[in-house]
Amino acid sequence: MSRASSPGPKGVWSLAMHGGAGADPSIDYSKAEAHMKDLLARGAALLGEGASAVDVVAAMVRELEDCGLHVAGRGAHPDQDGRYLLDAAIMDGETRAAGAVCALEGVRNPIDAAMRVMTETKHVLLAGEGAAAFARAQGLALIEDPSRHYTPAPAVLERLGEPTHGTVGAVALDIDGSLAAATSTGGLLNKTPGRIGDTPIIGAGTWADERVAVSCTGIGEYFMRCATAADVSARIRYGRQGLDQASARAIDDVGFLGGEGGLIAIDVLGRVAVKYNSQGMKRAYATSLGESVVETFAARGQARS
């Protein structure tokens, strides 16, 4: 499919990102919010200059991985065996090309590995040793000493006894009308060795097609059981629901099963939806209409508002 055939309006762009739905009101997220504000401005500038949605979401997630302020990339926490096994996925709505990695060890930016799976292989998901060998063969930056590289946030370490989690993600619409989504995570804290969540599962934690791009965060098992990210698109496509309703109902479905978390979504008209049923969700979004929002707890983000 050529970019010229994209159904979206030309010249309109939107960008949204999240830093996980495990936010706790007793914790100060001002540093993470300040970082997101800066990142949002840079991403908005890129989209305004004509960068593709898929390149921008990858760039945003790479920076969110590197900042160490979320449970992804540098901020990840080890599993019960003390190993850092990370998951990531990216999807280009223009072509529905997708790439993902899971249980990836020793690679600085899991999102780069996911991008290479999408662009350099015929596969969608590579796991464990095979994913790491592929990333090495691609010449991606590696981690020599995990104990020096990873810097789990103090706010996270304070909550190790709880089912804390965190993820980063970005969705975008570019000025050519193409959508893309990317998500990266360290998964649930103290996770069972071998446990994989929704993030790298295309359709569960990450999805982009010609009508919507979605990135999820929360207790991944529920998002997998609800196929949440693809469910937003299905509700728009078959249910004729608008973006806001489709996103809210998809999170309601997670809640009905007892799950907790949230999502960010952008549709082909550039509308942004932010929905969660957790206490908070670090998020930011900007549009070519001049909207620019960075927040963690405001009530209007609630799924049932």
Residues with a catalytic annotation lie at 167
Tell which one of 43, 75, 99, 187 touches ligand ASP (CB under 6 A). Answer: 187
Q: Which residue, 13 or 276, has its beta carbon nearer to ligand ASP?
A: 276
Q: Which residue, 175 or 216, has its beta carbon nearer to ligand ASP?
A: 216
Cα–Cα–Cα angle for 287, 290, 296, nearest 5°? 65
Is 188 a binder of ligand ASP (CB under 6 A)? yes
Is 215 a binder of ligand ASP (CB under 6 A)? no
Closest CA to 182 of 270, 275, 62, 273: 62
Q: Quote the least distance from Cβ 71 to ligand ASP, whole Å.
A: 6
162 three-class SS: coil
Cα distances from 54 to residues 51, 172, 285, in angstroms, run: 9, 8, 16
Residue ranges in 126-165 that form contacts with ligand ASP under rule CB under 6 A: 165
Q: Quote the least distance from Cβ 132 to ligand ASP, whole Å.
A: 18
Q: Is 70 exposed, middle or buried (0-12, 13-18, 19+ CB in 10 A)?
A: buried
Q: How far apart are the first and last CA of the chain?
A: 38
Which residues are bridge partners to 182 per DSSP? Answer: 90, 170
Is 197 a binder of ligand ASP (CB under 6 A)? yes
Q: Is 234 exposed, middle or buried (0-12, 13-18, 19+ CB in 10 A)?
A: middle
Q: Site map for ligand ASP, 8-27, x if CB under 6 A?
A: ------------x-x-----
Q: Which stretch binds ligand ASP (CB under 6 A): 107-115, 197-205, 246-254, 288-296?
A: 197-205
User: Judged by CB under 6 A, how many residues of this single chain contact ligand ASP?
Assistant: 16
Is 220 a binder of ligand ASP (CB under 6 A)? yes
Cα distances from 20 to residues 17, 168, 210, in angstroms, run: 9, 6, 25
Q: Which residue, 110 or 270, has its beta carbon nearer to ligand ASP?
A: 110
Residue ranges in 40-99 that form contacts with ligand ASP under rule CB under 6 A: none
What DSSP string describes 211-254? SEEEEEEE-HHHHHHHTHHHHHHHHHHTT---HHHHHHHHHHHH
Q: Quote the least distance from Cβ 168 to ligand ASP, whole Å.
A: 9
Q: Quote the least distance from Cβ 221 to ligand ASP, whole Å.
A: 7
Q: Which stretch binds ligand ASP (CB under 6 A): 36-44, 49-57, 90-98, 191-199?
A: 191-199
Largest CA distance in the chain: 51
Q: Which residue, 151 or 292, has its beta carbon nearer to ligand ASP?
A: 151
Cα 41 to chain centroid distance, Å, stands at 18
Q: Which stretch binds ligand ASP (CB under 6 A): 130-138, 149-157, 212-220, 269-277?
A: 212-220
Instruction: Quote the DSSP letter at residue 159.
Output: T
Distance (Å, whole) CA 82 – CA 55: 33
Q: Which residue, 47 or 216, has its beta carbon nearer to ligand ASP?
A: 216
Q: Quote the least distance from Cβ 183 to ligand ASP, whole Å.
A: 8
The Cβ of residue 303 has, within 10 Å, a number of other Cβ atoms equal to: 21
Binding residues for ligand ASP (CB under 6 A): 20, 22, 165-167, 185, 187-188, 197-199, 205, 217-220
